[in-house]
């Protein structure tokens, strides 16, 4: 079906569409947290870099990102139209992700990126082990540092 708008008008229309964040992936991760008894996390934590979740005591920032938009190559799907535009968009997102990671690491935080594909049921056990291992090691380290 042909577009009823020319390319410039369609671009203007699409520019007006604002993200509603990645709510479905965040809700899925909350399910995994609850299922595994993972506590201590916060959403909408006011810190520059805007992670999806933080564990403030452990200084862990968790980002949950879509595979296509942030450059994870678990799928080989690429839009056939406007390939150059989408590639540049993905590259900008990946560069921004690297900058945010460096910002948090400079503050002494651990950064964990969770991909959309890791939230699938078939990957839940691996993701749960990854989360629990990281949290347990940080909590153990913290308890050793306390007087």
The 8 Å CB, 24+ separation contacts for 99-108 are 100/49, 100/63, 103/48, 103/49, 104/49, 104/51, 104/61, 107/59, 108/59
Considering the segment(s) 42-145 as one domain, its CATH architecture is 3-Layer(aba) Sandwich (3.40)
Would the pLDDT of 21 be above 60? no
Would the pLDDT of 147 be above 60? no
Domain boundaries, the chain: 42-145
The pTM is what?
A: 0.78
- Surface-to-core class of residue 36, CB atoms within 10 Å of its CB (0-12 exposed, 13-18 middle, 19+ buried): middle
- Backbone phi, then psi, for 64, in 5-degree steps? -115, 115
Write out the DSSP string of 18-51: --BTBHHHHHHHHHHHHHTT----EES---TT--
Compute the average pLDDT of residues 115-124. 89
CA distances from 86 to 89, 90, 136 (A): 5, 6, 39
| pLDDT-wise least confident of 15-19, 46-50, 52-56, 118-122 | 15-19
In this prediction, residue 145 has a pLDDT band, given cuts at 50, 70 and 90, of low
∠ CA 61-65-117, rounded to 5°: 115
Q: Which two tokens stand for residue 83?
A: 């390939």
Compute the average pLDDT of residues 47-76. 88
What lies within 8 Å, CB to CB, of 67 at 6+ separation is 73, 74, 75, 115, 116, 117
């Amino acid at each position: 079906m042909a577009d009823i708008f020319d390319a410039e008008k369609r671009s203007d229309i699409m520019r007006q569409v604002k993200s509603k964040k990645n709510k479905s992936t965040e809700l899925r991760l909350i399910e995994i947290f609850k299922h595994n008894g993972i506590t201590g996390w916060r959403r909408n934590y006011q810190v520059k870099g805007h992670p999806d979740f933080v564990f403030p005591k452990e200084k862990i920032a968790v980002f949950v990102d879509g595979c296509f938009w942030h450059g994870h190559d678990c799928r080989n799907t690429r839009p056939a139209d406007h390939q150059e535009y989408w590639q540049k968009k993905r590259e900008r997102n990946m560069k921004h992700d690297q900058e945010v990671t460096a910002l948090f690491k400079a503050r002494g935080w651990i950064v964990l990126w969770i991909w959309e594909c890791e939230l699938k049921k078939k990957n839940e056990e691996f993701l749960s082990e990854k989360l629990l291992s990281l949290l347990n090691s940080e909590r153990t380290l913290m308890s050793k540092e306390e007087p």
